[in-house]
Each structure stands twice: as C-alpha cells, then as structure tokens.
Amino acid sequence: MPFRFMITESQLEEIDAARKKNMNKNIERQLRVLVLHAKGSSREEISLITEYNITSISRIVSLYMEKGLSFFIANNYKGNNRNLSYEEECAILFPYLEIAKAGQLVDINEIKLAYEEALGRPLKSNGHIYRVLERHGWRKIMPRSKHPNKASDEEIATSKKTPKHRQGRNSKRR
C-alpha cells in the first residue's frame, strides 16, 4: 500500500466517530471501506466484504485522501431547489388571490412575469409557476363538461314518466 494512501490512527478514530453518528447506509458502506483499508485489508478482501468493485474501492480511498471525511458525510444531492421561500411566494401570489376572490380570471402569464421580476431572471416554462400554485393550494376550476348531443331536460323528464312496460327490452313481461 503506497504511503500516500495510508490512513493514520487519528483519521481512523475520526472515521469511527463518523460511523457512530451516521444514519445513511450508503455512507456507512463507504466508511466501512475506509476502516477496512486502514486496518490493512487488501482491495480484494474489502470487495468481498462490502460488495464494492475493486476500482470503486480505490476511488473511495483516493477521494478520502483528496477531499477528506467531510466529502462523505456532506449531503451531495442538489435536488429540491426552490428559487424563493414559501413566504416570498405568498407575497407574490397575494394580489392575484384578491383578484380571484373578486371573481375575475387570473392569467398565468401575469403571475409568471411577477415571479420572474422577484427572481431576477426568466423562467424556461410555465411548469414552475404551476408547481408554485399547486404548492399554495391553487387549482383550476372548470365547469362540468356536457355532451353536445345530450337530450334536453324536458325529454329526460318525459322519459321518466313513461310506464316501465313501454321502456324497452329489459322491462318485465306480464
């Protein structure tokens, strides 16, 4: 094992302390690779124990040597990036809520322009605005659809008054 990949006793204690605090199983596997490497196990032995590929083991050890333990413990996922806080979004939507309560139609493009002005840059599509509206409980209300060839209300009322023995094949025979 080259000297540059040697893990000292103080680093091993630091890794053990991080393992005790850790709750993520993927991070636990990576820290276990480092512990086994520090104790002198070969990459093949570590591969059998942790089920990592040999090249992945080398990559984990070299990342630890380059970037330290904080690289493994830190959350490296970049998801759920909201541009504004919930309160800032509420402040943008409040004037449009008043317009909607007054019974007027609200245009999504107006909300998008106000949002982009607060954000300071343009958005690529309206999809982000629709997700903001959904997050704040807005929904699209539409009238109930009607079939174009639907019978009139008078015809429906008349058909209900027709005796059952004249309504068709499913009626009981006398």
**Same domain as 35, residue 68:** yes
- Shared domain for 21 and 59, answered yes or no, is yes
The rounded distance, in Å, linking the Cα atoms of 6 and 21 is 24
Give residue 49's domain range: 3-73
Residue with tokens 């000297």: 3
Domain count for the chain? 2
What is the pLDDT at residue 38? 92
Measured between alpha carbons, how far is 55 from 148 in angstroms, rounded to an integer? 66
* C-beta atoms surrounding 173 within 10 Å: 4
* Same domain? 103 vs 67: no
Cα-only R_g, the chain: 33
Residues 64 and 20 in one domain: yes
69 in the same domain as 91: no
Residues 69 and 126 in one domain: no
Residue type, 38: A
What is the Cα–Cα distance from 141 to 146, expressed in whole angstroms?
15
Dist. CA 74–CA 65, nearest whole Å = 16
Instruction: Encode pLDDT of 18-39 as tens digits.
Output: 999 888 888 999 999 999 999 9
- 171 lies in some domain: no
Point out the residues of the chain with pLDDT beneath 50. Answer: none
The verdict on 69 and 103 lying in the same domain is no
Please report whether residue 35 resides in a domain.
yes
Per-residue pLDDT at 84: 85
